[in-house]
A and B are shown apart, each in its own frame.
Chain A
Amino acid sequence: MVKDLSVGLCGLTLKNPVIPASGTFGFGLELADEMDLNVLGGISLKGTTREARYGNPTPRIAECPGGMINSVGLQNPGIDVLVNEKVPSLRKVYDGCIIANISGFSLDEYRECCARADACGGIDLIEVNISCPNVHNGGMAFGTSAESAAEVTRTVKAVCQKPVFIKLSPNVTDIVSIARACEDAGADGLTLVNTFLGMRIDIHRRKPVIANKMGGFSGRAVFPVALRMVYQVAHACRIPVMGCGGVASAADVIEMMMAGATAVQVGAENLRNPLACPEIIEELPVLMDELNINTLQEIIGTV
């Protein structure tokens, strides 16, 4: 029997639930020569701010058991380049769901960038990053209290017609209260989780490996924690969840969906294997057959 991998997400139909996570797939175009982008359910583009940013000094990357730390620091060409160049170029070669990921250092910046993304024809969905651990006085600061998360949500929802997902930080005591605050403030969905604040020290040099000292830890090791948070949030909220964190296989995708995720983002695994997403998508029907699943939609939140 032909397997149905499609899922519905806020009125959009994704051909499958697999989406490369923001920051681990550039603006999509970087990988256009390496794979058929059109197999992907969606692409979450690199986090974008109002002005162009170089980001943090190098080294920005550190190896860890079961994962890695990154501290890229939101390097991006700015919202103008996103809506005028990156998205139109990607739209020409990609027919799936294009997700703009927006970061900001102030409510004004979030409002302005989300309004610009909302007005950009090629963008299907807006993901608001209130959880970047790598920039000071921004990003994560908004995502670590229910009040400020709700404030960002209200601010961007006021200027957006397109579905707005808020990307949550796992570096909080109670992610459910923040998720509920975003839902109450009008979020159409939630993406969780962003990276976990982490650190490594080079014991020979007696210095942090990462130039910025700390960074975001991600990779296979975080999967159980991310899954737990997806499960808690999906069961506490009515809006859809995109599950993210340590996903590396078709089995992980199905596990995330059983926990309550409608779509599943693949992050750090892309850095180990640039072909991770197409390989997972190819593997999904085989695993569905083994598990007697005919349509992926039917397994969402079944545990």
Chain B
Amino acid sequence: MNKSLYTIAENTLLAPKTYRLVLAGKADVEGEFVDIAIPGFYLRRPLSVCDREDGKLTLVYKVVGEGTKALSQMQPGTELEVLTGLGNGFHPEACREEALLVGGGLGVPPLYLLAKELKARGKKVTAVLGFNKAGEIILAEEFRAVCDEVLLSTADGSAGVKGFVTDAIAAARPSYDFFYTCGPMVMMKVVCGTLEGPGEASLEERMGCGAGFCYGCSIQTKNGPRRVCKDGPVFKKEELLW
């Protein structure tokens, strides 16, 4: 964990209520998420890292309450105090040859950094990205630039396969030896329940400290209580009880 100041380099609308936040500051080399102090709010806001290069962190967030609303109104040049290097991420080394990434909504961004890491390791990467409707699609072009194949699904059928990510997977039957998923809990439960073979899921929970010592985000797993912020947020499929 590191506590340091970052400067907002970009804070732009990607889709309704959904923003891309680029922070410039100390080169941050590890961690699955960062925890941002928003002036006027008590607890920090944890956000997954979507991309990281040249001392810049890219995060994608959705306005879901007062804190993220205030964040969305902050201008480039504003300084933010950020805790970085938090959480354990996906394990690209677990994939032998072919990876399947399954993202839903705001669960899509953290899979982008993983896709780049998998490609850097020479793996074949298929991404299945699910959204409610065409207007909410984010990062599709970025994924297409990195992955071997990108499948889209929308709940209303306005883009890609009509239905859920599982419908897109059933239609295309991509081959994989390891899957990685991030999205709404209901989606990940179905993904982990239906996809064969080993995989990992990145969980979300309301957090207190974000660094593993308040036990505010503990979940029950097959291996006993685990802290989403410190032991996760990424867990093996077999470990989760749902």
> Which residues of A approach B to under 8 Å, CB–CB?
23-26, 30-31, 33-34, 46, 54-55, 58-68, 70, 72, 75, 219-220, 268, 270-275
Contacts and interface: CB of A to CB of B under 8 A. Distances in A.
A272 B205 contact: no
8 closest Cβ pairs, A-B complex: A26-B213, A30-B213, A59-B206, A61-B216, A271-B209, A271-B208, A61-B206, A61-B208
A275 B3 contact: yes
Given A23-B214, A34-B211, A70-B214, A272 B43 contact: yes
A31 B3 CA distance: 14
B206 A272 contact: no
A186 to B, nearest CB: 32
Interface in B196-225: 205-209, 211-220, 225
Given A26-B213, A272-B37, A66 B220 contact: no
Contact of A60 (B65, B67, B83, B216): B216
Given A68-B42, A272-B42, A272-B44, A55 B208 contact: no
Contacts of B13: none
A70 B208 contact: yes
B57 to A, nearest CB: 19
Given A55-B215, A61-B43, 11 more contacts: A23-B214, A54-B220, A61-B206, A61-B217, A62-B206, A66-B42, A67-B42, A72-B218, A271-B216, A272-B43, A274-B83
The residue among B211, B212, B214, B230 with the most chain A CB atoms within 10 A of its own CB is B214
A169 B220 CA distance: 29
A63 B215 contact: no
B1 interface: yes
A81 B207 CA distance: 25
A24 B213 CA distance: 7
B42 A60 contact: no
7 contacts: A24-B209, A54-B220, A55-B215, A61-B214, A70-B208, A75-B218, A273-B37
Given A60-B206, A63-B41, A271-B43, A24 B219 contact: no
A217 B207 CA distance: 15
A255 to B, nearest CB: 20
A272 B230 CA distance: 16
Contact of B205 (A58, A62, A64): A58
B64 to A, nearest CB: 9
A219 B206 CA distance: 17
Contact of A31 (B44, B83, B213, B225): B213
A16 B212 CA distance: 25
B220 A72 contact: no
B225 A25 contact: no
A63 B3 contact: no
The size bracket of the interface on B is 20 to 34
B207 A61 contact: yes
A31 to B, nearest CB: 6
Interface string B111-147: 0000000000000000000000000000000000000
Given A68-B42, A274-B83, A58 B208 contact: no
Nearest to B67: A63
Candidate in A54, A63, A75, A273 with the most chain B CB atoms within 10 angstroms: A63
A93 to B, nearest CB: 15
Contacts of B212: 26, 30
B217 A58 contact: yes
Contacts of B219: 58
A274 B218 contact: no
B213 A273 contact: no
A288 to B, nearest CB: 25
Interface string B37-52: 1000111100000000
A24 B206 contact: no
A58 B3 contact: no
Interface string B212-242: 1111111110000100001000000000000
Interface string B74-94: 000000000100000000000
A66 B43 CA distance: 9
